[in-house]
Structure formats: structure tokens, C-alpha cells
Structure 1
Amino acid sequence: METRPFINTTERLAEVVAEARHENGWTQAELARRAGVGRQFISDLEGNHPRAEIGKVLAVLQTLGLSPRAVPVRPDYEFDADGQLKEQFRG
């Protein structure tokens, strides 16, 4: 089943990839082979090392059945000090 996890940091990306890989019962080497990337890439990805190769990251996520999506970030002025969305900006 394809899911759409919320990924907003490299730390979260590392968690999502590692969790999905474990759920599939795959080693890092197996995921790397299936995604067409090197095992070191998977190790670095799960280790939260900064990566600029977005195409490879997307290949790994697709291999795991994950389909992330971009969500626009609301500007700070739309929120109260407590982090709640101000009334005038609610849908």
C-alpha cells in the first residue's frame, strides 16, 4: 500500500526510510539494489547525512512504496504566539 508520510526534515526522512525498510524486512543492501543506488547511499540517508541527490532519494522512497508530497508552508504572521492558526486564516 502506498503511503504519503510527512517529511519536513532530513531527520524525518532518515526515520521514514529506516522504518519502511524494516517493515519490508530488507537489508540496506537489498533496498539499495532494488532502488538502483549504492548501499552507502542508503546508509548515509538513514544516518541523516546531508544529501543533494534528490533523484536518488525519490527512487528510494518509491521503491519503499512511499509517495511524499510538497506542502506549502504558511508564513509566520498567520499564527498566534501559541502556534495556533489565526482565525482570519482558517479555511
Structure 2
Amino acid sequence: MPRAWLLLIASIALGSGCAARPVPVVPPAPVVVGAKPCAAPPRPVLPPVDRAMPFDAPANVDALLRRDDIHRSYAEALEAALACYKRQIPEGR
């Protein structure tokens, strides 16, 4: 029996080297673009809304309109930062 095991192990070792293997496909290396940091705006501090007053109270309406203006200017600044990064991308990508 030990001879059979030895013969079995030897035939497995020799036979496994003859198997056809597919050629591995190596993906291309990613292109790294060195981007310069662009100025991002800090998060704005929004004026609070008074919860004790009705939603359409003049003080709350004024606070909501100021919040809307702040949100709009913050969104424009974020879009400007994004455009700064997009300008750094080489053509054809």
C-alpha cells in the first residue's frame, strides 16, 4: 500500500504540471493625474428658525430667506471648486 500512495502522489505532482493554463490578463495601470488642491468654501453657519413662532412669522420668513441666500452662495462656491478640479483633467479623458 505505501508504494501505491507514493505512486499516486508522484503521478499527481507530475500530471499537474502538464495542465494548460490560461495566460493571465493584466489590466493596464491606472493613470494618476496630479491635481492641485482647489479652494473649497467652509460650511456656512445658518441663522436659526424660531420654533416657538409660526412658520410664516415675519422673523422666520426673514431667517428662511437669509438661509436660502446662504445656501445659494455656498452651492455656487462648491460648483466653482468642482470646475477648478475639472479644468485640471487632461483633454480626451
Question: If the TM-score is normalised by the length of the shorter chain, which range does it land in?
Answer: under 0.3
How does the TM-score come out when normalised to structure 1?
0.18
- The TM-score, its normalising length taken from structure 2, stands at 0.18
